[in-house]
Structure 1
Amino acid sequence: MSEQKIETEVWFSGLVQGVGFRYETLKVAKGYEVTGFVENLSDGRVHLLAQGDPTETKEFVEAVGERLSDYIRDTQQQSHPCESSLGSFQIRR
């Protein structure tokens, strides 16, 4: 890759737990060259961490938002250079 990898974190709120949100996110991830994870948080939000080149990561996060837009009320997002690399994309608790 010519560009430095970035890490993007997104916190989704709305009706995002108990609706297959994490499994749909995993399905979307299979179409992109990203690593990271998606997990439910105890406050009812879903946390997504994606690593990859900036364009791929941006497109992945946008695809998740589009696919699951009916469940999302709000998102918070931040990106920064990737310090360490995860080996795959997976579902966490």
Structure 2
Amino acid sequence: MKEIVRYRMSFTGRVQGVGFRYKASHVANQFSLTGYVKNEYDGSVTVEVQGSEQEIYMFLKSLGQDRYIDIHNMDKERIPLEDDERRFIVQY
């Protein structure tokens, strides 16, 4: 059985106005990940994502391969699981 983990990540760079939230939501659903993505007022994007390490790795790899998204920096911290979460959403 796969160990499930949850991370909070903050992305900076060209990450707003380029479809980052749509891409994150689409890819998270492909890998059956849960969590959310949200634009922040400072121009960064916050993601909380929950799933296996391998699925999260593939999620991040896919985000980094988009031609419009240009991630300059990503801060990542492991956080407690959200047991009742069932899907990945875009927060506004």
Class of the TM-score when normalised by the shorter of the 2 chains: 0.7 to 0.9
Structure ranking higher in strand proportion:
2
Aligned length: 92
Q: Aligned partner of 2:63: which letter?
A: V
Q: Percent identity?
A: 30
* 1:72–1:89 Cα change, 3 Å: same
Compared CA separation, residues 6 and 85, structure 1 to 2 (3 A) = farther
For residues 4-23 of structure 1, the aligned pairs below 5 Å read 4-23=3-22
| CA root-mean-square deviation | 1.9
- The TM-score normalised by the length of structure 1 is 0.82
How far does the alpha carbon of each residue in 1:30-83 deviate from its partner, in whole angstroms, 9 at most, with x for none?
210200110001111001111012221222122222236742111111224525
* Contact in 1 for aligned 2:18/2:69 (Cα 8 Å): no
* Match of residue 90 from structure 2: 91
In structure 2, stretches of 5+ residues that fail to align are: none
Aligned partners of 1:84 and 1:52: how far apart in 2?
11
- Greater Cα offset, 22-31 or 45-54: 22-31
Whole-Å Cα distance in 2 between the matches of residues 13 and 46 of structure 1? Answer: 7
Aligned positions of 1:37-56 closer than 5 A: 37-56=36-55
The runs of 5 or more residues in structure 1 that have no matched partner are none
User: What is the SS of the residue equivalent to 2:61?
Assistant: helix
Answering whether residue 57 of structure 2 is matched by residue 58 of structure 1, we say yes
| Cα pair 1:10 1:47 within 8 Å, conserved | yes
TM-score by length of 2: 0.83
